[in-house]
Structure 1
C-alpha cells in the first residue's frame, strides 16, 4: 500500500507543467479560477496541505488554522500583500515569494501603459475607427529628456528604469531598502519626485505605511499634466483623488493595471475617462512569466519543506 503524499494547495486552477514536475512527490489540489477565502479555508480543512501556492484570493489566519500541517505559503509572483504575514509568523509558517520571476513581464507592461498614455494610442485608435484623421490637431508627448520618478526599485523598478534610460529619460528613484543602484538612477526623496517628475510609475509593495501614497495632497504637489502609471497594487492610489486630478488636468493621463477592488465591476468611474488606460492586472501574465513564477513558487516552497 503506497504512502499518502503530502498536499500542495494551489489557489488557482492550474500550474505550469514545469512546476508540477517538481511536485511529483506531492498531491496537488486546485482551488479553481476565482476561489473565495471561505473556499480556501474549506479546502485546507479537507486536505491539510503542507504548502499553499498563492495565485488568487487571500490566505488569512482561518486558512492557516484549518491546516495544522502547513509549513510554507509560497506566492506565485512577488507581491505578498494577499497573505496575512503576521498570522503566518505567529504560527511558524514561512512566507516566500517568487521575487523577480515576472520582472520582465511587468516592466514591459508598465512601459506599454506609459507609451499608450504619452502617445494617446487608445484614443487615436478609437477616433480613427470613427472616421477621424487628427494629424493636424493632435500632439503627443515626447519622452526623451523628460523625468520619470520611480517609487520602488526592486527587480521590476530597476528593469523599467533601464528601459526609461534607454529612451533618454532622466530617472529618479525612491526606495529606502534599495542598496546599490546603477548610475543612471538618481536617488530622490518623495518630495523631489512629486516636484520634478513628468511621469510617476509605482513599483512598490502595498503596506499600511504607503497605502494611498498617491492622494489629493501628493498629486497636488506634482507637475501639472503628470502621467501616472501603476502596475503594482491598486491600494497605493486614492482612486477618487486620482479621478478628480484627471478631470482637473492636474494629472494628464494614467495607465492602470491594478485597482483598489478587483476584479473591477461595471460601471466604474474610470470607465468614462478617455485619459485613463486600463488593463485587468495582467502585467505579470505572460506565457513565459507563468512558467517562471510557477517554477519559482514550487522551488521556494520545496526549499522550506526540505529545510
Structure 2
C-alpha cells in the first residue's frame, strides 16, 4: 500500500498537465487495454480514492473492491462504461469532463459528413489507381440541405454551429436541451427522420435509445440520407444500417463508434465502399487529451476536496 492515497487510471497514461494537479496522490495505471477483472484486482491491491476512467468498464465489483473510493471521473463526456446505478447505491459521485473534447468530436463528425458527401475516400483511391473521374462523378452539395442533429450537448451544438456556417438547415432533437441558439430548429424524431438529408448522432447511449437507428427508423428517413455517428456504436443497429446502405436507402455512412470495440475482424462493414470508418478517435487529439485529462483530474479533486 502506498503512503499517498491512490488515483487509479484505467489507461496507460495521463497528460502531464493533469498529473501536475495530482501531486498529493500516487497515480496507478491499468495499462493500454485494461479488463474489468484487471481493474477489480488493482482496486483490491491499491484501494484508490478516485478512478479516472479512460478504457474498459467500471462496475459494482470494482467499487466494492475499493472501500476508500470517493469519486469516479470520466476522461471524456460519455459515462456509459460506468455503472452509475451501482455508484449511486454506494454514494459514489460520477463526474465527466463534459465539453473537454467537444471541438475534437464535432470536427470529426464534420469530417465524416464531408467525406461521405464528397466521396473523399473513394475518389482518393481511384486517383491513386490512375483514374480521372471528373466526367462521371457528382458530389453532394451540403449548402441548402437539412441536417438532423440528435443530442444537443456541447458536441452536438458545436457541430450544429459548423453545419449552420456551411449554409445547412439544422434540425435538432434533445428532450433535455434548453436555451438553444436560433439556428437550431427543435423538432420531434418523426419530423427529423422525414426531413433530414443527413443525420448526426451526438447523444449518450441509454437503455431507451439503444438501436435508435434501426430498420424501422431508416425506413422513415429520406431515401439517400447520410448517417454520421461519433457518439456510441450501440445507437445503431449495424445489420439494419448495412442492409440500408446496400439497398441504396442510405447513401453513405461515416462511423467512428461501433457496437463492439475494438471492431472485430473481419467485420460486415469491411470493404463497403460507402461506409467511411475511423477507430473511435473523434475525441483523440493532442489538445483534447490535455483538456480531458485536466478536467478529469479537476472534477475528481473537486469531489475529494469538498
Verify same fold: TM over 0.5: yes
SS at match of 1:122: helix
Q: Displacement, 1:130?
A: 1.1
Q: Displacement, 1:129?
A: 1.1
Q: Which residue of 2 aligns with 1:94?
A: 93
SS at match of 2:270: helix
Q: Distance in 1 between matches of 2:271 and 2:107?
A: 26
TM-score after normalising by structure 2: 0.99
Q: Displacement, 1:44?
A: 0.3
Q: Which residue of 1 aligns with 2:164?
A: 165
Q: Which residue of 1 aligns with 2:274?
A: 275
Q: Distance in 2 between matches of 1:46 and 1:220?
A: 52
Q: Which residue of 2 aligns with 1:287?
A: 286
Q: Which residue of 2 aligns with 1:128?
A: 127
Q: Distance in 2 between matches of 1:99 and 1:29?
A: 24
1:103-162 CA deviation, whole Å, 9 max, x = no partner? Answer: 000000000000000000000001111111110001000000000000000000000000
Q: Distance in 2 between matches of 1:4 and 1:294?
A: 24
Q: Which residue of 2 aligns with 1:297?
A: 296
Q: Distance in 1 between matches of 2:127 and 2:186?
A: 42
SS at match of 1:41: helix
Q: Does 1:66 align with 2:65?
A: yes
Q: Which residue of 1 aligns with 2:76?
A: 77
Q: Displacement, 1:266?
A: 1.1
Q: Which residue of 1 aligns with 2:230?
A: 231
Q: Which residue of 2 aligns with 1:220?
A: 219
Q: Distance in 1 between matches of 2:127 and 2:148?
A: 32
SS at match of 2:261: coil
**Unaligned 5+ runs, structure 2:** none
Q: Distance in 1 between matches of 2:245 and 2:165?
A: 28
Q: Which residue of 2 aligns with 1:202?
A: 201
Root-mean-square deviation (CA), in Å? Answer: 0.6
1:188-244 CA deviation, whole Å, 9 max, x = no partner? Answer: 100000000000000000000000000000000000000000000000000000000
Tell me the number of residue pairs that the alignment of Structure 1 and Structure 2 aligns: 305
Q: Displacement, 1:280?
A: 0.2
Which consecutive aligned stretches of 4+ in structure 1 deviate over 4 angstroms post-superposition? none
Q: Does 1:41 align with 2:40?
A: yes
SS at match of 2:295: helix
Alignment of structure 1 residues 7-26 onto 2, 5 Å: 7-26=6-25
TM-score after normalising by structure 1: 0.99
**Unaligned 5+ runs, structure 1:** none
